[in-house]
Structure 1
Amino acid sequence: MVSSGYRAIPRAAGLVVEAWGDSREECLAEAVRAVVDSFAEIGDAVPDGSVEFALAVRDDDALLLTVLDEVIDQIQVEERVPVDVSIDEGTGIAMGEFEIRLATVPLEAVREVGALPEAVQPAGSWFRRESGVWRAHALIEV
């Protein structure tokens, strides 16, 4: 069993997010945390809203891109910051479908410590299982 985690590596005009975990869901949640922690200190912010959505995606790379696109959309368009994430696969839904729930706070409830994420670059981003561990790699534009 591997502990989950993430790191964000600054690069020109963005950052590289790397995440890992024992399960697909755990790794995705870590990738979301990495994106949020790259620009915000959550502190004691208590969620006062949430967004839920279901995804049916063709592959794991598309799953990562779609989840991170939704996170960035919440930040940029709705001015909401995800502070907690839960991801369930196939619980009462068809296999290959995922239910995602982002607990959110207003952007002004967090302390901004970096540039807001603007987009995920599909080229160079991937999500897969390697040697029993789920790993995500995403290029984020800021």
Structure 2
Amino acid sequence: MEVRQAGHSSVPHLTDLRVLAWAPTREECLAQAVQAMTEAIADPASAGPGAATRELDTVIPALRDEDLLLGLAEEFLHWLDAGGEVPVRAEVAAVPGGVRARVRLVRLRTLRTTGPAPVAVTDRGLSIGPAPDGWHCAVTLAV
């Protein structure tokens, strides 16, 4: 079966935001999920070429794929809450005992907003795993 291209989407709900992602590999799927979280609340392209950004490497330690997805979603909320920043680019690579996320962060206030900012990660419907056409993952954020 043919693996479809990487991508993502989000589905807003009254008090939740459902993020869906898919890709040929687990790591790409995780990176797509991070991008979907950003795009659900802001337009990364609105940063413009002169926007102040900073690069950040972070390791998410986990043995289960679900814990990796949950850990990345919690990091996203930390970047947003602690620094008012969101990733406009994310790369995820496997490392022993987890994954390393390399992100380019930009201040949310410099972007055009597209939705309300999430405040918590829920474990409702958290899923990640291989499928016949690649990897799929889903996470729900409370807004």
> TM-score when scaled to structure 2?
0.89
- Give % identity: 27
What residue number does 1:79 align with? 84
- Residue 61 (1) aligns with residue 62 (2): no
Which residue identity is paired with 1:35? Answer: M
Equivalence map 1:27-66=2 (5 Å): 27-45=29-47, 46=51, 48-66=53-71
CA contact (8 A) 1:81 1:107 kept: yes
CA contact (8 A) 1:47 1:103 kept: no
State how many pairs are aligned: 138
CA contact (8 A) 1:47 1:83 kept: no
| TM-fit CA distance, 1:128 | 0.9
Q: Which is helix-richer, 1 or 2? A: 2
Q: Structure 2: which 5+ runs fail to align?
A: none
Which residue identity is paired with 1:122? Answer: D
- Distance in 2 (CA, whole Å) between partners of 1:43 and 1:87 is 21
DSSP-derived class of the 2:75 partner:
helix
> TM-score when scaled to structure 1?
0.89
- Residue 105 (1) aligns with residue 106 (2): yes
- Distance in 1 (CA, whole Å) between partners of 2:18 and 2:110 is 25
- Distance in 2 (CA, whole Å) between partners of 1:14 and 1:77 is 21
